[in-house]
Amino acid sequence: MIYREYGKTGKKISAVGFGGMRFERPDDFDRSAEMLVHALNKGINYFDTATFYFKGKSEEIFGHARSELVRTGKNFYYSTKSMAKDRESVRIDVEHSLKRMKVDSIDFLHVWCVLTPEDFAARKAAGVIDEFRKVKEEGLAKHISISTHMSGNEIRDLFEHEEFEGVTLGYCATNFPFREAGLKAAIEKNMGAVIMNPLGGGTIVNNPEAFSFIRMNEEQSMVDAALHFLLSNKGITSALVGFSNKQQIDEAVAAVESFKPYTAAESERLKQSIQDDFQSMCTTCGYCNVCPVNIPVWAFMESFNHVLLDGSFKVAERLKWHWALKINELDRCTGCRQCEEVCTQHLPILQRFELIRQNARGK
Ligand code: SF4
Ligand code: SF4
């Protein structure tokens, strides 16, 4: 395993981190906790969760695993996040996280899911950021970081006047130009830089033909290639992979073990190969599950990914065979744009709905 310094904190964390949002059976605490122990034994020492993953169960799994992890005698770190919008809620979230994860202090506590500069400003005005710092002063958290889905330029601007010890942001071979400036700013400030969604929500791994250009040689699997691309940037501290089972942990660890940094020419060739459309793909993160009329926006956007990938307009077939959905679900859309406001990829969702409708009408 490769370990990298998390900014100025003095902590060294594994180049692949454990994302606690994709447990296969979150109700089975013993089985899920075993995955954390397996990961630590394989060298992964950064475990990331959040207050709402599986409605708090992910943090409880971390709590369930803790005594076994301690028994290994190895160093490990717990990271969690709060999306609280006021001081009191920060306090409530932190108290719940400490209790659920069975720790006295959270190693890395994140201001979670900052979507826009206005969102950050509103939280700051409500005293949320001060409360995070107070939590640290009281010893309830060791480090305060931020997790954000803003664009690269917005992140860069934020870091010009706000101090955090690290940042967690979505960045992968399909969307990196969108966040490049933010990552660069974090690295220049010597912050920890943790990457979420390094496999593009499965898009890269599940579409090997479309993304074959990220492989530098025949031996690389798609997981290897996606992770090697990230690790070639020395400023990236860790790539968080949401694990569902032990096999995925083994694959990610093997990818780190076979890592050889890309040469400058290889990195450049890869960057040149990125087509504009790849920057605007749905990562199936699910943050758009806010629709007041319950339209499963993510399923429509995931289906639209395939239009971008291979040009074939098979949205209706994909909706039908994968999720038993019909295009006329969109008739219920009121155009309120709540989904667009929270989309982590800032996708033009309504515009894509219209293209889907137009294409269906043309058939
Ligand atoms: S714009 Fe349509 S799909 Fe999006 S949240 Fe509003 S009603 Fe739902
Ligand atoms: S549409 Fe946006 S918010 Fe919804 S799942 Fe896709 S990337 Fe995430």
Q: Across residues 15-19, what is the average pLDDT?
A: 97
CB 198 within 8 A of CB 239: yes
Give the tokens for residue 56.
């708090």
More confident residue, 213 or 165: 165
Instruction: Give residue 279's pLDDT.
Output: 60
Q: Which residue has the tokens 């709402």?
A: 52
Token digits of residue 180: 């490049």
Q: Is the pTM of this model over 0.85?
A: no
Residue of 353, 289, 287, 352 whose CA lies nearest to 119: 287
* CATH number, span 3-273: 3.20.20.100
Query: Is 130 in contact with 171 (CB distance < 8 Å)?
Result: no
Backbone angles phi and psi of 142, in degrees to 5: -95, -35
Is 295 close to ligand 1, i.e. is its CB under 6 Å away?
Answer: yes
Asked if residue 133 has its Cβ within 6 Å of ligand 1, the reply is no
| 96-152 tens-digit pLDDT | 999 999 999 999 999 998 988 899 999 999 999 999 999 999 999 999 999 998 888
- Distance CA(333)–CA(331), nearest Å, equals 6
Instruction: Name, of 69-78, 115-124, 217-226, the range with top average pLDDT.
Output: 69-78
Q: What residue spans in the chain does CATH classification 3.20.20.100 cover?
A: 3-273
Does 336 sit in the ligand 1 pocket, CB within 6 Å? yes
Which protein residue has the closest C-alpha to ligand 2 atom 8?
285
- Asked if the model's pLDDT at residue 301 lies above 70, the reply is yes
Residues with CB under 6 A from ligand 2: 282-288, 297-298, 301, 343-345, 347
Q: Is the pLDDT at 174 greater than 70, yes or no? A: no
> Would the pLDDT of 61 be above 90?
yes
Residue in 327, 338, 340 to alter for ligand 1 test, most ligand atoms within 8 A of Cβ: 338
**289 pLDDT more than 90:** no
